[in-house]
Chain A
Amino acid sequence: MENINPTLPNTNFRLSIESAFMNIPEHLLDFEKIYIDPKSKDSDVAKRFIQIFPNEKIVFTEDPNIESSNSTGILSPKEFDKSKKNIFITPFQGQFFKRCPGTHQKMACCNYFVLNLGLQCNMNCSYCYLQSFINTKTMTIYSNIDDALAELKTMTDEFKGLTFRVGTGEVIDSLSLDPLTLYSHTLINFFKDKPHLTLEFKTKSNLVDQFVDLDHANNVIVSWSINPQHIIEKEEHLTSSLYERLNAAEKCKSKGYKIAFHIDPMIWHPEWKTNYKRLVDDITSRFDPEDLPYISLGALRFQKEQRWMMKERFGLNSYVNQAELFEGKDKKLRYDQDLRNEMFKFIFDEFKTKNSKWNVFLCMETPETWLSAFDSLPKTIDGLETLFEPRKSI
């Protein structure tokens, strides 16, 4: 099929409009409104949305919240729910690249750079930390990905010889909207001739078909946040099931992508041992340690004030409101350190019992927890030292 819009650049990695339509899951067409900032109207992503969504859903505006009377502070639970139903395409005005938020002096973290290509998520996890800081009433997709890549190029040119890991799933899922944006195509192509850079997608979706057949330089990690299916059903609403995620991981693996799993956040519940053991069984029965560069672990954590939003949005029987949480050194609520150690050690031991080659590490944890759970710090664990090698600060 010919490009029906002559203004759309005919890049070799763009899916044709026809195939793009065919590959878009139905639930992604449910957005109520697509607001497009006039400054973004000529961007590839805006043009694509205009092609995909019916005219009555498209609104050109600089401020999609102009009719809203309440414009201060954190969103209310209702506003937060509503913000997931609309999309605003606009250029990002600030610095795209940021250090991973775990890079707090009291935390031992994994040293990577975050590229935010949007804000908010179309899935609905009860523990989602976006609930504590989002103050925009519409899900946002940044249209100026080219500016982000120019920034990245400047940064990598300046620090030649250094390795960079770039992740896109901090404040928006890397892939859950990707059939609409096709940002995976732009990113994979950018990284294709830069083997010293690593791109990491982080997702709870199974939407990989739109990019899985692209050529890549073996420097793309597709990672999944995973939890036992029981937790997914109870707490990770509108996400793909565990089996869909594992299937997508197998598909990516078969096409030469590196894959990784983040068992994060681990959530305490009465049957946690049985369910997390089953999760380890599910992973180890389908993958070998060689398939996965690492598996990271993290436990439930969130800002104290976020608990109200969680209780009001997901009710009092949600597992995230069950075990007691205490204020940690980073001021976030966390499980008691002994309980966290027990949970991490349990998973760690389950993996190591299956095969000592599994690389399991902790994310957003204190050195004390590393020592208690693993008897060592990350830089001294085989297979993890490169992840935690300090890089020159940028």
Chain B
Amino acid sequence: MIYSIPNIKSFVSRPTVVYQNVKLSESTSSLVHELDSENLYKGLHEVYPEATLVDLFEWVDFFSSHNVLFDKAALASSYSFFWSESTESLYQQSLIWHGSFKLWCKNKKAHVNDLRPLCLLDQFNSKDKNIIFDFINHFDSLRLSLSDGKKILELFVDIIGSNPVEYSKLGEELIELKLSSEQILRKLHKIKYPVSSKKDEKKQTFVKNTAWPQNTKVNFLRQGDQAGFELSVFVHQSEYKEKYLKVLKESLDKIDHYLVNQNSEPKA
């Protein structure tokens, strides 16, 4: 019995590539190139020069279930992946991932580190795992970028892992609200980090509710572990130097007053 690997490629002029009764590529040509275990990875690489992590998982699953002799680590290595414990954990999960999440991972060329939060699911019970799986199945339809998807995945897994009962419906709510990725991130961030979210929000409210002098612009800004304000003045005429300095000082005084008193405000 001859099997074909998933998503097999067809070529017109190349011979069909076969390894242990498994077609790795198809061809209209009658020529057959049979690989042995020595040149499997090189041969596979020639037919498929690129493979995503999910492609790799699909091949591993296929080879394993068809009793094809191969080495996971060598296969991964031929595509510059390292078959670590995390890779194995993700591979085991990928067997039950929904197609739409696999598609998102493939399209975004997600690597092991991008999906690392999912390795924590080994600590979850099956009910809580399903909360995560149900949510990530929407990544593709939400059109999440890889960068946003990674952040959302990390926050969502953290929240469900810490408090699965309270947030069991969170995924469904986020989907129903039809939020943008930025809104989802903000909402998850607020749940996961209520203290720092509240502090940053207070600073943003201060910027918004303060009457700043004309021609000045104040923004709340976070630079690493420091949160502060960016103050700019629109300068257009040199003779107004004194005026610019005055508005700068006025703005700085307001910021200074806020910073000095921020911790002495009555606590909510």
Contact = CB atoms under 8 A, between A and B. Distances in A.
Interface of A: 69-70, 72-73, 76-79, 308, 311-312, 315-317, 321, 323-329, 334-340, 342, 368
B256 to A, nearest CB: 14
| Contact residues of B: prevailing secondary structure | helix
B120 interface: yes
10 contacts: A69-B73, A73-B82, A76-B85, A308-B119, A316-B120, A323-B195, A326-B222, A335-B225, A337-B226, A368-B226
B222 to A, nearest CB: 7
A316 B161 contact: yes
A332 to B, nearest CB: 9
B199 A327 contact: no
Contacts of A72: 82
B224 interface: yes
Interface string B159-176: 001100000000000000
Interface residues of B, number: 24
A42 to B, nearest CB: 38
Given A76-B84, A335-B225, 13 more contacts: A70-B84, A76-B85, A312-B123, A315-B123, A316-B123, A316-B161, A317-B161, A323-B193, A327-B224, A336-B226, A337-B226, A338-B199, A339-B196
Interface of B: 73, 82, 84-86, 116, 119-120, 123, 157-158, 161-162, 192-193, 195-196, 199, 222, 224-227, 263
Contacts of B116: 308
Contacts of B161: 315-317
Given A316-B161, A323-B196, A336-B199, A329 B82 contact: no
A175 to B, nearest CB: 32
A78 B227 CA distance: 37
B120 A311 contact: yes
A324 B224 contact: no
B119 A312 contact: yes
Contacts of A326: 222, 224-225
Contacts of A321: 158, 162
Contacts of A340: 225
B85 A329 contact: no
Contacts of B196: 323-324, 336, 339
A312 B73 CA distance: 22
B96 to A, nearest CB: 20
A326 B200 CA distance: 13
A316 B123 CA distance: 9
B104 to A, nearest CB: 21
Nearest to A308: B116
Contacts of A316: 120, 123, 157-158, 161-162
Given A70-B84, A76-B84, A323-B193, A312 B224 contact: no
B244 to A, nearest CB: 27
Contacts of A342: 263
B225 A337 contact: yes
B225 A77 contact: no
A78 B84 CA distance: 11
Nearest to A315: B123
Contacts, number: 64
A329 B119 contact: no
A305 to B, nearest CB: 8
Contacts of A336: 196, 199, 225-227
Contacts of A327: 224-225
Top 6 closest pairs, chain A to chain B, by CB: A316-B161, A324-B193, A326-B225, A76-B85, A324-B196, A328-B225
A337 B195 CA distance: 14
Residue picked from A77, A335, A337, most chain B C-beta under 10 Å: A337
Contacts of B157: 316
Contacts of B86: 76, 308
A368 B157 CA distance: 35
Nearest to A325: B225
B232 to A, nearest CB: 22
Contacts of B199: 336, 338
Contacts of A368: 226
A79 B85 CA distance: 10
B143 to A, nearest CB: 26
A338 B200 CA distance: 11
Contacts of A339: 195-196
Nearest to A342: B263
Contact of A317 (B162, B192, B195, B227): B162
A326 B222 CA distance: 10
Contacts of B195: 323-324, 339
Nearest to A318: B162
A308 B123 CA distance: 13
Contacts of B73: 69
A335 B226 CA distance: 9
Residue picked from B116, B120, B158, B196, most chain A C-beta under 10 Å: B196
A70 B226 CA distance: 40
Nearest to A341: B263
Contacts of A315: 123, 161
